[in-house]
């Protein structure tokens, strides 16, 4: 099939001629590949061609072709945009609404709200939902904004609903475009944790200044042998409480810190997990941008560290829940190591300022670390 035959679908070959020399055009269903060679630096190619394809209703991704055996090392892969029905991202909206519902329900646990008398009492847990989803949304929108800034096509956040006690497993965005450079990879990777951490600090400080909640007598003094879940405090949470002069616990068992503070706890836990330096996690992106391909050496050691932590907790403590948690994350890290990290189109140093910011970001992540984040306590 000649390029001219496709000129009425996505942008024509002539429209690309100033930035991309097309050797041939390939079609596979709705996907169209313009195979050829960039006439400008590959790292800036995505910014140039994305608007051309977008105005014709196509998403485009710049990819390298390995093992092609010819003179065409790159391809522009175009597919019709898939935003949703009538241009509305229904998938994102449905997932968001479901997550609002599950976090509201989780909030009733923390506020000790009785739903038996009136199910609409569920809405009284809105501060908890606002805290948790506000932190997660800010994190993902940090990625989204910097992706768009660097010309990388990214979806809106998809929130993931789960049952209490948290009500969500977080949120994700899908990046469909090739990342143009190591600097862009760093900016996109670091934006989420830094934005989310800023929101986490605000939510935590606000929660610490809110009035404590009343705990029912049955919950304040559980029956002997009853089990309860305890969420331990990371160093950052303790530090913030000390800085603002507010307590995290009360001598009176019928009082407890406002559940909005737990929204901050969720933000800190999510920040640490995302900064594990492996694969497609934010920490993996940051380290790949900082170290280049040497990042693979560091990433290969991460699963072993997580398994060692799980083993240490198993043999040296009674925190079996955390043993399972870090064992699962060891497996996740192992899978991510095998899958590999993001590969930007253009290599090159990210500069000393970004390297310093990488160090500060990982330090902030360390302040969110808890070897035993969750434990089961018997009365």
Inside any domain, residue 85 = no
- For residue 321, give its domain range: 90-378
- The pLDDT of residue 370 is 92
Inside any domain, residue 114 = yes
Burial label for 223, CB within 10 Å (0-12, 13-18, 19+), is exposed
372: its two tokens: 């035993």
- If one compares 207 and 153, the residue with the highest pLDDT of the two is 207
- The pLDDT of residue 134 is 96
Distance from C-alpha of 13 to C-alpha of 11, rounded to nearest angstrom? 7
One domain for residues 71 and 98:
no
Inside any domain, residue 215 = yes
Inside any domain, residue 216 = yes
Distance from C-alpha of 240 to C-alpha of 73, rounded to nearest angstrom? 52
pLDDT tens-place string over residues 83-142: 554 557 888 899 999 999 999 999 999 998 988 888 899 999 999 999 999 999 999 999
Query: Which of 80, 106, 125 is the C-terminal boundary of a domain?
Result: 80
Identify the helix (H) or strand (E) that includes residue 109: helix 90-111
- 3-state secondary structure at position 14: helix
Cβ neighbours, 10 Å, residue 292: 15
One domain for residues 125 and 66:
no
Per-residue pLDDT band for 245 (boundaries 50, 70, 90) equals: very high
Inside any domain, residue 243 = yes
Inside any domain, residue 350 = yes
Residue labelled with tokens 């990625």: 143
Domain CATH for 52: 3.90.1070
One domain for residues 192 and 52:
no
One domain for residues 41 and 142:
no
One domain for residues 335 and 265:
yes
The answer to whether 28 and 22 are in contact (CB under 8 A) is no
Per-residue pLDDT band for 27 (boundaries 50, 70, 90) equals: confident
Distance from C-alpha of 135 to C-alpha of 127, rounded to nearest angstrom? 12
Inside any domain, residue 261 = yes
Assessment of whether the complete model's pTM goes beyond 0.85: no
The answer to whether 148 and 126 are in contact (CB under 8 A) is no
What are the b/e assignments for 246-263, b being 16+ CB within 10 Å?
Answer: beeeeeeeeebbbbbbbb
pLDDT tens-place string over residues 127-176: 999 999 999 999 999 999 998 888 787 888 899 999 888 999 888 888 76
Inside any domain, residue 160 = yes
Phi, psi of 29 (to 5 degrees): 65, -125
pLDDT tens-place string over residues 183-198: 999 999 999 999 999 9
One domain for residues 76 and 195:
no
Strands 31-38 and 20-28: antiparallel
Query: Which of 23, 52, 80 is the C-terminal boundary of a domain?
Result: 80
- The pLDDT of residue 202 is 97
One domain for residues 161 and 252:
yes
One domain for residues 269 and 297:
yes
pLDDT at 4 over 50: no
One domain for residues 68 and 140:
no
One domain for residues 264 and 364:
yes
Query: Which of 47, 80, 113 is the C-terminal boundary of a domain?
Result: 80
Total structural domains within the chain: 2
One domain for residues 285 and 357:
yes
- 3-state secondary structure at position 363: helix
One domain for residues 207 and 320:
yes
């Amino acid at each position: 099939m000649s390029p001219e035959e496709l000129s009425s679908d996505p942008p024509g070959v002539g429209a690309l001629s100033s930035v991309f020399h097309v050797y041939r055009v390939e079609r596979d269903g709705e996907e169209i590949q313009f195979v050829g060679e960039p006439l400008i630096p590959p790292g800036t190619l995505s910014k140039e061609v994305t608007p051309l394809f977008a105005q014709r209703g196509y998403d485009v991704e710049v990819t390298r072709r390995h093992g092609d055996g010819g003179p065409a090392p790159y391809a522009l892969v175009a597919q019709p945009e898939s935003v949703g029905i009538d241009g509305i991202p229904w998938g994102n909206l449905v997932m968001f609404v479901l997550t609002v519902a599950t976090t509201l329900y989780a909030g009733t646990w923390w506020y000790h709200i009785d739903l038996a008398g009136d199910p609409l009492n569920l809405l009284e847990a809105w501060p908890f939902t606002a805290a948790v989803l506000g932190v997660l949304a800010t994190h993902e929108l940090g990625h989204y904004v910097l992706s768009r800034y660097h010309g990388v096509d990214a979806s809106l956040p998809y929130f993931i609903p789960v049952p209490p006690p948290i009500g969500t497993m977080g949120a994700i965005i899908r990046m469909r475009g090739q990342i143009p450079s190591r600097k862009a990879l760093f900016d996109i990777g670091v934006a989420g944790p830094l934005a989310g951490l800023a929101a986490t600090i605000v939510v935590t400080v606000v929660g610490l200044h809110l009035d404590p909640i009343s705990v029912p007598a049955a919950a304040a003094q559980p029956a002997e042998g009853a089990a309860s879940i305890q969420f331990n405090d990371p160093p950052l949470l303790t530090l913030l409480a000390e800085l603002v002069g507010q307590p995290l616990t009360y001598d009176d068992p019928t009082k407890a810190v406002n559940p909005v503070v737990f929204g901050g706890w969720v933000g800190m836990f999510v920040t640490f997990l995302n900064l594990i330096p492996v694969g497609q996690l934010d920490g993996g992106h940051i380290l790949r941008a900082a170290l280049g391909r040497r990042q693979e050496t560091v990433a290969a050691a991460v699963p072993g560290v997580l398994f060692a932590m799980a083993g240490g907790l198993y043999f040296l403590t009674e925190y079996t829940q955390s043993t399972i948690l870090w064992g699962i994350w060891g497996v996740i890290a192992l899978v991510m190591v095998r899958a590999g990290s993001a590969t930007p189109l253009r290599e090159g140093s990210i500069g000393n300022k970004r390297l310093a910011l990488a160090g500060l970001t990982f330090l902030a992540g360390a302040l969110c670390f808890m070897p035993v984040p969750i434990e089961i306590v018997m009365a």
